[in-house]
Amino acid sequence: MRALLLETLHPKATDILTAAGIAVDNRDGALDEDELIAALDGVQLLGIRSKTQVSERVIEAAKDLIAIGTFSIGTNQIDLAAAAKRGVAVFNAPFSNTRSVVEMAVSEMISLTRRLPEHNRQMHAGVWSKSATGAHEIRSRTLGIVGYGNIGSQLSVIAEALGMNVIFFDAAEKLALGNATKMPTLESLLAEADIVTLHVDGRAGNQGFFGREQFSAMKRGALFLNLSRGFILDIEALKSGLESGHIGGAAIDVFPVEPKVKGDAFTSPLQDMPNVILTPHIGGSTEEAQRDIGIFVATRLRDYVFSGSTSLSVNLPNLSLDLLQGAHRIAFLHTNIPGVLAAVNRAFAEHEVNIEAQLLATRGELGYVVTDVSAGLADEALTALSTMPATVRLRVLS
């Protein structure tokens, strides 16, 4: 069993996989499509972060690949449908860096409200400009959170503890925490918020959703933060708002196009603008978060390999399974059509294979049947399963 880990993942990921007997190849930086296809020859597990793009072509070419771990929250860099079609499980880390992103958002709100970027720049230039003009406390100001998921909701709680009024908008129905108020529309949030922060996911429908119209709807002098996805934002529209003074300041951590490797050149229309904080996609990049992510995702990959557990997979039916004890386990991914479970059990019965335990879950077009059988596992039964028209992937864990 071999694993390829890209983009300088935390050493804990390597420790967990190697302790399970998996050979790990660690590489810095991302690979382009052709490089990735070549590197995946004979590799069963792939670990990436946000820079590596795993396209349908990559998945189709990687015949040995059984699982991908994205050591981040987002999964938009992976063709999830293609992975599911090939029976490749995908796991992410939806919770592990939440606190890191929230703390960074709070620090940026305070910095922008106190105009610290401008004062810092002036001091480095040798200018002493002590003044309270334009500097405010965040207490009693209204924070508008766009996207009330794991990060947005935790930010809501902390912001309220700091004395802020919290309003939020989410396309899905979400329970408001504390005294936060859900706004009926994005426009109603923008009209009230002193600070607007984006925490939306990377689905294709969110591309370019925040632009000139939304900036125009914000209060004059309001602050803007984006620590979610780069492609959701019209950077030129933000620049225009900053130049006109309609937007009082901004903090941007994610960009439409980002360098692949640390140290590469970076350019943005927002460089050298006053009261603008630019950071290199480090919202979740604390040592604590990266360690937790490394442990969380590597554990999911290991458990999938050895137990067949798909718990928290983002593209396959979810089954939580313990390690196998004293039996064979057949993990059978199939198209979700009527009669498959009956056909599976008929194949076992016809070849005198005794079933000790069985679990089934479905998700959209896929079904996942995991069957524990006694020691008498006939090769003919496996052949019958692997040649069924509905078969996507068959693995025997023993």
Same domain for 218 and 139: yes
Query: Three-state DSSP class for 74?
Result: coil
In whole angstroms, give the CA distance from residue 35 to residue 30: 9
Same domain for 354 and 256: no
Of the residues 229, 302, 328, 329, which is catalytic? 229
Give Cα separations from 364 to 81, 84, 298, 361, 368 (angstroms). Answer: 11, 10, 26, 10, 11
Pick from 229, 237, 236: nearest CA to 256: 229
pLDDT at 377 over 90: no
Q: What is the CATH number of the domain that holds 245?
A: 3.40.50.720
Pick from 42, 87, 79: nearest CA to 62: 42
Average pLDDT estimate for 253-266: 88
- What is the reported pLDDT for 262? 81
* % pLDDT > 70, the chain: 100
Same domain for 251 and 329: no
Same domain for 120 and 222: yes
Give how many domains the chain has, as a whole number. Answer: 3
Active site residue 136: no
Residue 193: domain span? 98-278
Q: How many CB atoms lie within 10 A of CB 150?
A: 18
Same domain for 212 and 127: yes
Q: What is the CATH number of the domain that holds 331?
A: 3.30.70.260
Quickly tell me which residue has 């302790």 as its tokens.
19
Give me the residues paired with residue 224 across strands: 196, 250
Same domain for 170 and 302: no
In whole angstroms, give the CA distance from residue 221 to residue 115: 12
Active site residue 281: yes
Same domain for 89 and 5: yes
Same domain for 7 and 148: no
Same domain for 150 and 115: yes
User: What's the chain's average pLDDT?
Assistant: 95
Contact 324, 307 (CB under 8 A): yes
Same domain for 252 and 352: no
Let me know if 156 is exposed, middle or buried by CB neighbors in 10 A (0-12, 13-18, 19+). Answer: buried
Same domain for 263 and 120: yes
- What is the reported pLDDT for 206? 85
Crossing angle (nearest 10°) for helices 287-307 and 98-113: 160
pLDDT interval class at 192 (50, 70, 90): very high
Of the residues 86, 199, 281, 302, which is catalytic? 281
Same domain for 149 and 29: no
Largest CA distance in the chain: 87
Active site residue 334: no
- What is the reported pLDDT for 207? 87
Average pLDDT estimate for 263-286: 93
- What is the reported pLDDT for 194? 98
pLDDT at 111 over 90: yes
- What is the reported pLDDT for 374? 81
Contact 212, 86 (CB under 8 A): no
Of the residues 258, 356, 365, 380, which is catalytic? 258
- What is the reported pLDDT for 154? 96
